[in-house]
Amino acid sequence: MPGALWLLPVALGDTPWENCLPAATREAACRLRHYVAENAKSARYEVKRIGHPLPLRELAIEQMPDTLTPADIERLLEPLVAGHDLGLMSEAGCPAVADPGALLVRRAHELGITVKPLVGPSSLLLALMGSGLEGQRFAFHGYLPARDPERGRCIVALEDESARNRQTQIFIETPYRNSALFNALLTGCRPKTRVCLATDLSLPGESIATRRVSEWKRGAMPDLDKRPTVFLLLAD
């Protein structure tokens, strides 16, 4: 009988697990001996941090390649086929959301393997909750193009779609490019469009602010440098 694929959230930063992970999630993670992770070093740190009862040398933690091939997926899921439960971990937050682990989950379903998502922090949902923007209709777009003019055209298209469908648009950026994306939003969006910056979510320096573009332009530039940030916009 195959094992179950457990989807294990991890903290969004270096914060005590008690602050963001339910005890049941920690207990499930501590029962496992096989893991697949986006980054094996980070996964070993998290497994140790939650207090796994076994030494790390007795645990099998496999790292996903940068580009997952069908053969890689089959290899990583071998413990499941052999009857062992397997934990899937992201670099931060919930696995398989804006994360290559989704391909493993898809294959597990194709193989008839039980998939068990566990409760934990999601930066996307935390940002949406705290934004005050439309919470019934929203879309996550991952990373926008890094350079203009493609980035500018994408922002205009997202804003038009938001106004047409009354839909909150959610996206992220590599932290060192946060300020460039924020400036592109101020340049490309209409004055009345609302933009939310949700930064360092669940961490001591957490900041969530929603303002119209015209209001952002009148204020000081927010400190986004190298700080994980979720961007949201809603056009009138």
Q: Rounded to whole angstroms, how far apart are CA atoms 172 and 175?
A: 9
Domains of the chain: 5-117 (3.40.1010.10), 123-234 (3.30.950.10)
Element (H, E) at 199: strand 194-199
Would you give per-residue pLDDT tens digits along the chain (236 residues)? 899 999 999 999 888 888 888 999 999 999 999 999 999 999 999 999 999 999 999 999 999 999 999 999 999 999 999 999 999 999 889 999 988 899 999 999 999 999 999 999 999 999 999 999 999 999 999 999 999 999 999 999 999 999 999 999 999 999 999 999 999 999 999 999 999 999 999 999 999 999 999 999 999 999 999 999 999 999 98
Mapping DSSP onto H, E and C, the string for 49-109 reads HCCCCCCHHHCEEEECCCCCCHHHHHHHCHHHHCCCCEEEECCCECCCCCCCCHHHHHHHH
- Total Cβ atoms within 10 A of residue 11: 21
3-state secondary structure of 193: coil
Q: Facing residues of 211 across strands?
A: 195
Give me the sign of the Cα torsion angle 63, 90, 99, 201: negative
pTM: 0.91
DSSP letter at 183 equals H
Q: What is the pLDDT of residue 26?
A: 93
At 99 the pLDDT is 87
